[in-house]
């Protein structure tokens, strides 16, 4: 199995990760994010919501859970090497993320400010994710809407100056075009690439386990064993790689 890290990231300086909830980044790309920061790439992780509805606990409010999950997430981001200024919460509502012009504008702002060379986000296409022949699951509505919003924000809304012209009151923002994407939750596609995470899988697991309201360390280990590919003792994360015109 090929390690495509240099192929995908060799000429990249800045990578943005846009996910729906705290812990999504670790689950789908934690080893890759850790490898990027270890390689001195600048990485910004944007969470669309704080995951405030993501619990079966009955004796906690949405507000309290949201604060708890953000606190857990900050620990996880620190473990992955994400700087505080590049750890962003948009607080659009767990289970309420919409693909609309308002939210596209919020992400276009992030893109114009951070200026990524590549964006990692969710699967925007499939209502049902096919993992293997007899294993499938429903793609979370928040995940699909996050992916669509992210891709539209990257093109054309962050590029064209007459979309959200109020952004440019901030002199640090410029027109920006990002046309390369890694999409998670793809397991059988001709555009797939694999990123070796041998040296960062333990960092992934530690960061994932920081979400203690959701996972134990065993759950984090099991998730790594399930979602990462293993071949000849090596570990890989898998993505669909898109280079758009």
Please name the residue that has the structure tokens 């994010």: 33
φ and ψ of 192, to 5 deg: -70, 145
Please name the residue ranges forming H helices in 123-216: 141-152, 201-209
Eight-class DSSP state of 146: H
The closest of 46, 24, 44 to 204, measured between CA atoms, is 24
DSSP state of 73: H
pLDDT in tens, the chain (245 residues): 899 999 999 999 999 999 999 999 999 999 999 999 999 999 999 999 988 887 665 678 888 888 888 999 999 999 999 999 999 999 999 999 999 999 999 999 999 999 999 999 999 999 999 998 899 999 999 999 999 999 999 999 999 999 999 999 999 999 999 999 999 999 988 999 999 999 999 999 999 999 988 888 999 999 999 999 888 889 999 999 999 97
Model confidence, pTM: 0.96
């Amino acid at each position: 199995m090929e390690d495509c890290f240099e192929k995908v990231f060799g000429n990249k300086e800045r990578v943005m990760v846009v996910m729906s909830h705290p812990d999504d980044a670790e689950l789908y790309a934690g080893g890759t994010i850790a490898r990027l920061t270890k390689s001195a790439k600048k990485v910004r992780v944007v969470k669309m919501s704080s995951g405030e509805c993501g619990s079966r606990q009955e004796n906690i409010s949405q507000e309290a859970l949201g604060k708890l999950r953000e606190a857990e997430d900050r620990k996880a981001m620190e473990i992955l090497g994400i700087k505080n200024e590049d750890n962003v919460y948009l607080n659009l509502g767990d289970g309420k993320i919409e693909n609309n012009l308002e939210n596209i504008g919020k992400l276009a702002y992030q893109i114009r400010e951070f200026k990524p060379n590549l964006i990692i986000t969710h699967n925007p296409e499939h209502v049902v994710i096919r993992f293997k022949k007899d294993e499938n699951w429903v793609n979370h509505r928040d995940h699909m809407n996050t992916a669509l919003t992210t891709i539209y924000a990257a093109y054309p809304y962050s590029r064209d100056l007459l979309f959200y012209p109020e952004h440019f009151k901030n002199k640090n923002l410029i027109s920006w075009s990002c046309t390369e994407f890694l999409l998670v939750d793809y397991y059988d596609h001709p555009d797939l690439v694999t990123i070796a995470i041998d040296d960062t899988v333990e960092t992934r697991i530690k960061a994932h386990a920081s979400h203690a309201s959701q996972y134990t360390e065993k759950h984090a280990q099991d998730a790594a064993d399930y979602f990462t590919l293993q071949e000849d003792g090596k570990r890989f994360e898998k993505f669909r790689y898109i280079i758009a015109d």
